[in-house]
Amino acid sequence: MILAAAVAAEQFRSLKEAHIEGGEKELQEFKKTLANISTEPVVDLINKMLETNDGLNEDAGPILVKFLGGGGRVDGEYVPLQLEQLQAAVRLP
């Protein structure tokens, strides 16, 4: 979910110069959703899940580390996802 939000935010940023009519309500809802998932309690929960469940971390971990700088294992050690990294990844213009 976090990775999907980061990808969606990146795609939105790439369209920032495009003129799109309507959709203001949806955009505000999207921004609110991104703000809600990029909080310290959510990051703490994600880190607890990924650090303790190697099955989840095995596939998603390397992708999360690549795109978000944390959330996976590097050389066998868990690299925690940082709030600032997540907020930067989901920031909209």
The residue among 64, 62, 73 whose CA lies nearest residue 3 is 64
- Between 55 and 43, where is the model more confident? 43
Predicted structure pTM score: 0.69
Q: Which residues contact 18 (CB under 8 A, 6 or more apart)?
A: none
What pLDDT band is residue 54 in, cutting at 50, 70 and 90?
Answer: low
What pLDDT band is residue 16 in, cutting at 50, 70 and 90?
Answer: low
What pLDDT band is residue 20 in, cutting at 50, 70 and 90?
Answer: low
